Amino acid sequence: MSEPTGGLGQRARLAALAVVLLVVAAGAGGYVWRVRQDQVAVRAAATGAPTRADLPAVRSGPHLVFRNTALGPDYGRVAMVPLAAPAGPRAVTGASCERVHATRDAALCLAADRGLVTTYRAQVLDADWAPRRDLPLVGTPSRARLSRDGSLAATTTFVQGDSYANPGQFSTRTVVSRVDGEVVGDLEEFTLVVAGKRVTAIDRNLWGVTFAADDRFYATAASGGRTWLVEGSLATRRVTALRADAECPSLSPDGTRVAFKKHGDLPPGRWRLAVHDLATGAETLLAETRSVDDQVEWLDDRTVVYGLPRTDATSASSDIWAVPADGGGQPRLLVADAWSPAVVR
């Protein structure tokens, strides 16, 4: 028996309505997608985030590696810009790091795995920014350094507390490893000598390594509420104080000076950048008067670079600044929306 004509008409109307609803839904979905893309673009424009550059092209020449802090999908990823155009477009890698340091052939990445419980890992990355191997890491990442030849890695983590503001009220662990994974030593186990006397106090801490040309290195030592710039030897497992009131050292490319942060008579949790001449012991205060809680990097033998969080309380971003190492000039913004700089030549 054939169906009534009215039934066919009703089904046709329902099918047409379904098609209309699908078209509307697709249009609405497309509209929402476009709005979201526009919002991302607006946020990127508002933060001054440049467009992407070609990664192999940037990596082929002298460049600055850093943690990208521009709001958007690349937040937290490692990025780089040419040294000749630091304010230009940045190339973004697939690696996400809390702290990063790099050479031409490798990188050291201190990364966070955020879930119900946040865990951290230290990884050596290859020239293509892919994981090569894990290194020992205990605690919250704080400092990361590679030797200039890329053979040694140093990591500093907080194992209790969360601030350098009050020496003696926190504990760090600084481990030097070879990039092939062999642990060279935990600096807490090295002999610490200050003014000719061995320091064995249980509150001593060592952090912020910068490597010299051979097995020597410089670092920070602390005990009894005081800090020192120390020179150490991996072969003898001994560190010796060179001067007081110095933290987070960074050796200049020519090996003659160490940039560091000093507390002086500033309030707790505040520091001033300075440079120590290794030959004469002379100190030069730098023109940056804002408090810098970073292990600076040398852009060249005349300039240091460092990260500074934005002073706007609503911002989660930071910037990389540069200042002359001779105490003259003025700080200048080098790379916006960036943190943890490493110079690669």
Neighbour order of strands in the sheet with 257-262: 247-251, 257-262, 272-277, 283-285
**Structure confidence at residue 169 (pLDDT):** 60
In angstroms, the first-to-last Cα distance of the chain is: 86
Radius of gyration, CA atoms only, the chain:
26
Identify the CA nearest to 250 among candidates 227, 273, 233, 272.
273
Q: Longest Cα pair distance anywhere in the chain, in angstroms?
A: 111
**Taking the complete model, does pTM exceed 0.85, yes or no?**
no
CB 70 within 8 A of CB 44: yes
- Chain-centroid distance of CA 227 in Å reads 23
CB 258 within 8 A of CB 250: yes
Three-state SS for 145? Answer: strand
**Structure confidence at residue 170 (pLDDT):** 67
**Structure confidence at residue 47 (pLDDT):** 44
Residue the block writes with tokens 């000749």: 84
Burial 80-115 (b: 16+ CB within 10 A, else e): bbbbeebeebbbbbebbbbbbbbbeebbbbbbbeee
CATH topology of domain 53-344: Neuraminidase (2.120.10)
pLDDT single digits (tens) 68-92: 999 999 999 999 999 999 999 999 9
**Structure confidence at residue 157 (pLDDT):** 93
pLDDT tens string, the chain, 345 residues long: the values are 443 444 445 544 544 444 444 333 434 444 333 333 334 333 444 444 447 999 999 999 999 999 999 999 999 999 999 999 999 999 999 999 999 999 999 999 999 988 888 899 999 999 899 999 999 998 899 999 999 999 999 999 988 654 555 555 668 999 999 999 999 999 999 999 999 999 999 999 999 999 998 899 999 999 999 999 999 999 999 999 999 999 999 999 999 999 999 999 999 999 999 999 999 999 999 999 999 999 999 999 999 999 999 987 667 799 999 999 999 999 999 999 999 999 999
**Structure confidence at residue 31 (pLDDT):** 39
Structure token digits, residue 299: 């852009």
CB 124 within 8 A of CB 95: no
Structure token digits, residue 195: 């003014």
Domain ranges of the chain: 1-47, 53-344
Whole-angstrom Cα distance, residue 175 to residue 115? 26
Whole-angstrom Cα distance, residue 302 to residue 232? 25
Whole-angstrom Cα distance, residue 85 to residue 79? 14
